[in-house]
Structures are given as structure tokens and as C-alpha cells.
Structure 1
């Protein structure tokens, strides 16, 4: 973390955060995702990013936002699905998103978000987490203890594929 940056605080997201979450999602996918995907793939990835699509008030989800005191924008967000429909068993949850605004990338924001989601998963009694990582985030997740399971192609708008890696992690008790 840069010595000039303030510490990261993570809190539960509220419906009032929806626009800011969509802004972070868009900026992150465009700039950071652009390291791994072409313009057509980025456009397809972002086609479904809309503030109303985040399950901010729905049961079974935990959405958090990261902030820095000196910044009036959200630095990042994360989404945890406690009861994903495609889960292997009842002890597995799914990380649906960890996005960091490019202005705050590689400064510990993503780690703070992921740690908060893992704590929420443990608190809910989950033993494992699964996720599907974009190519540009694979190394981040590996550093956090996630292991690759299989390469998949996620079909985005207009049938545009994004190569991703399904990953998982066994949660240790704190």
C-alpha cells in the first residue's frame, strides 16, 4: 500500500451505493480488464452493468464497499452469494465480484474487500468459496489462496466469449 494512501474501510453496501458501484465496475473492467481482453470483449462485459442489477436488498447476498476517508468515491466493491444456485453443496458460497477502481488498484483495496467477504462467508457457516476470475485477476486470487479448477468461456452479450478461470478456496476457521 502506498504510504500516502489512507487505510481502507469496508462497510455493507446500501441501495444508495448502486450508481457508485456501477461506476467502479465500469472503470475497473475498462481499464484493468483491458489488460487481458480486447475492446469488443470489454464492451460485451459491460453491456449488463446497470445500477439496478446489483442485489443490494435481496436476502442471501452480501455486498460490501471499500472507502478511503479522504476520497469521496467508493474505491471498490465485492459481492458474495451465500446460496448460489450452481453450488456444489450447502457449505459452498460464491464470490460474484471483487472490483477495484483503477485509481486504487494494487493498494490493498481488493484484499480488504475479499477478506470482508470471506469473513461473512465464515460467519454464515460456509466452508468453501468458489468464483470465476477474469484473466486479469487470476494472480490476485492465487495470492489470496484460491486455486484454479478449470478454464471456462463465459458468454457475454452477442455471444462474445470471455476466457476465465473457475477457482475455489477452502476457508480456514478464524
Structure 2
């Protein structure tokens, strides 16, 4: 595998990110969700461009191509993209009492299980820790849960997001990131 590099996303990355995210949702959940659940998950998953504006969204590149992405946030929103406005809460978190949020983690399907998610996740955790947070939390899909468990996250609760009467299972997870 060629080296993977990371950088903070810019607004110019949005078209490439949109394509990667759509492909990732469609492909990587196939072994975990029914086709109806995958279709429903599109309504709650995706990129919240506030992460790009805030400078907290990483892209992973390999040979000049974006092959993964994910971010962290100091805002209260736990998950959801631009289109899922009912899930968004722009309130700033207090690092002394709140956990930073890990958000919108996606890998290109042909690069899955090659360590790209770990690189992005580690970069996000380090940035959250540098911003004063001692814990991070996220809302995991079933397909993402193995990565998060292997990275030290523990389940807090299992929930179902209901979209057009279709239940999409999700797992809220948490990790302490103190040095």
C-alpha cells in the first residue's frame, strides 16, 4: 500500500467527498443492513459541512485521491449530514464537561480494512485532545462498530433512527482520550 496522508478538508473537496460518502454508505453497509435500511440511512448519514467550515474534517489521500474522510467537532451535533437538519445542534461544547464528537467517518470501499479509518480516527482524537477534550463520542453504524471497538471505544447505548417507518440501528460509543 502506498502511503496515506491526511489534511484538513476545504470547501473545494466537497464534490469528491460527496461521491465517496455516497459510495461508502451504499457499499460498506451491505453486509450489515437490509437494502431498505441502507436507503433509509441516506436520510441521516452524510457530511455536515459545518465540520469543513470549522476546520475539523480530515481527508485521507492516497496517490492524490481522497480515499477516506472523517472529522471531530466541538459542537453538540452527534451525527447527521447537511440534509438531516433535525439532528443538528450548533451549540459549542465545554471541554471541561463534554465529550467532543467524532463525525462522518467514511472510507472508499476499495480501501476498506486497510487502516485508513484508524489514521483518520487517530488524527481526530489527537486534535480533540489538543483542544482540551478528555473524551470523545460518536454514533456508529453497525459497519463502523468493529473499527471503533478495536480503537478503544465502548458502547454507551443502542438506538434506532426511524426513517419512513424503517429502523436503522446505531450505537452511541465513547472513549477517553487523556494523555
TM-score bucket (shorter structure): 0.7 to 0.9
Name 2:141's counterpart in structure 1: 134
Matched, 1:34 2:41: no
5+ residue gaps, structure 1, are: none
Counterpart of 1:54 (choices 49, 58, 65) is: 49
Q: Partners of 1:159 and 1:15 in 2: how far apart? A: 34
Name 2:71's counterpart in structure 1: 79
TM-score (norm 2): 0.83
- 1:23 deviates by 1.2
Name 1:102's counterpart in structure 2: 109
Relative distance call for 1:33 and 1:50 in structure 2 (3 A) is: closer
Relative distance call for 1:127 and 1:112 in structure 2 (3 A) is: same
- 1:127 deviates by 0.5
Counterpart of 1:63 (choices 53, 57, 62) is: 57
TM-score (norm 1): 0.85
- 1:154 deviates by 1.7
